Amino acid sequence: MDISAAEAKEKFSELLARAEAGEEIVVTRHGKAVAVIAPPPAVASKGKSLVGAMKGKIWIADDFDELGPEWDEYIK
């Protein structure tokens, strides 16, 4: 939905309710888009933490931080 800045000012509460329902509203000034009123990203709106989200899905080798013999001349 596109709406002029003046009309958006008058109907701001209604536009927020529509954004909460999932709608994206483009605010225009003189026919050009200047802002978007949209619902927050899904992750942020659900309040879920991303800490530990990849647990059990990533594996790191035991020797990950060991350098091979090709690095000997650089670490002397």
Tell me whether residue 27 is in a domain: yes
Tell me whether residue 26 is in a domain: yes
pLDDT per residue over 13-66, tens digit each?
999 999 999 999 999 999 999 999 999 876 444 566 778 888 889 888 998 988
Q: b/e per residue, 11-50, with b = 16+ CB within 10 A?
A: eeeebeebbeeeeebebbeeeeeeeebeeeeeeeeeeeee
Tell me whether residue 70 is in a domain: no
Res 75: pLDDT: 85
Give me the domain span that covers residue 15: 1-47
Tell me whether residue 63 is in a domain: no
Give how many domains the chain has, as a whole number.
1
Tell me whether residue 62 is in a domain: no
Tell me whether residue 72 is in a domain: no
Tell me whether residue 10 is in a domain: yes
Tell me whether residue 19 is in a domain: yes
Res 9: pLDDT: 95
pTM for the complete prediction?
Answer: 0.54
